Amino acid sequence: MNPPAGGPDTLYAAESAAQLPFRFDAAVAGVFQDMIARSVPGYGLTLQMLAVAARRFAQPGSSCHDLGCSLAASTLAMRHHVPEGVRIVGIDSSAPMIARAREIVALDAARAPVELLCADILDVEITTSSLVALNFTLQFIPLEARTPLLARISAALLPGGALVLSEKLAFEDPREQELLIELHHEFKAQQGYSALEIARKRNAIENVLVPETLAVHRARLFAAGFSQVTVVLQCLNFVSVLAIR
C-alpha cells in the first residue's frame, strides 16, 4: 500500500485503464494528490484562497464542511486557519478516499477537531455551518440534484456564512471552449502527462464530470439563496467562486 502521501499518477499510461469510465476507487485514491495537483491548474492557490475564506468566515462554535473531501486537502487548509472552537466535517462517498484521508489527517498537527464521514453528500444533513467548501465536487453531481444541494447548503449556513465553490468551467462560445480545453491539455502536458494519457483521461471522465458555465453557476447560487457571488480565482478553465449567504 502507498504511504499517505501517495504515488505518482500513471493510471492512464496503462492500456487497461483506457476503456473504463472514471471512478474514485482505490487506484485513484492512491495517486490522487499527484493527479489533482498536475491536472487542476492553480490547485494550490485554490487551497490558499480557501484558507483566506476560513480566516474571514469561520465562526467559533460552528462547523466548517468539506463536501467531496477526497484526501482532506481542503479540510486541512481550513483546519490551519479557523479560530478556536470550530470543528471541521469532511464528507466523501469514496471509501478508499476516506480511509487515506484519515491517515493524512492523523499525521496533521493542527488542533481543530476533524470528523471524516464516508457518505453521499446528497444524503447527509448539514447544519450550523459557517463555511462550506465544495471544491471540484459539484461537477460530479447529477445536474438535477445541483440546485437542491446548493439550496440545502445555503439553508445550513449561519448568518454571515459562506460557500467556496470550485469547478471546472464550460464556455458558451465554442471558440473559447476549444481554446481553454487546448490550453488545459497543454498545462497537463507540461506537468508530464503524455498525449495518450491526456486523451484516455478525457474519454474516461466524459459524462462523469459535467462542467457548466460561470453564468449557470452564478444564477444557480442566487436561486439557492446566496446574496453575493464573486469569483476569487480563475486559472484557465478552473474557477473558485465565493458565495455569501
Q: Using CB under 6 A as the criterion, which residues of the chain lie in contact with ligand GEK when the complex forms?
A: 24, 36, 68-70, 73-74, 91-94, 97, 120-122, 135-137, 140-141
Q: Which residues contact 182 (CB under 8 A, 6 or more apart)?
A: none
Q: Which is nearer to ligand GEK, 63 or 93 (CB)?
A: 93
Give which of 226, 224, 227, 221 is closest to 239, Cα–Cα. 221
Residue number of the CB atom closest to ligand GEK: 68
Kindly list the distances between the CA atom of residue 16 and the CA atoms of 21, 186, 197, 201, 216, in Å, as whole numbers in the listed order: 12, 24, 12, 12, 36
Closest distance between ligand GEK and the C-beta of residue 119, in Å?
7
Closest distance between ligand GEK and the C-beta of residue 210, in Å?
12
CB 213 within 8 A of CB 172: yes
Closest distance between ligand GEK and the C-beta of residue 101, in Å?
9
Closest distance between ligand GEK and the C-beta of residue 214, in Å?
18
Q: Which is nearer to ligand GEK, 42 or 161 (CB)?
A: 42
DSSP assignment, residue 212?
A: B
Q: Which is nearer to ligand GEK, 24 or 57 (CB)?
A: 24
Spatial separation of the C-alpha atoms in residues 202 and 200, rounded to whole Å: 5
Q: Which is nearer to ligand GEK, 168 or 245 (CB)?
A: 168
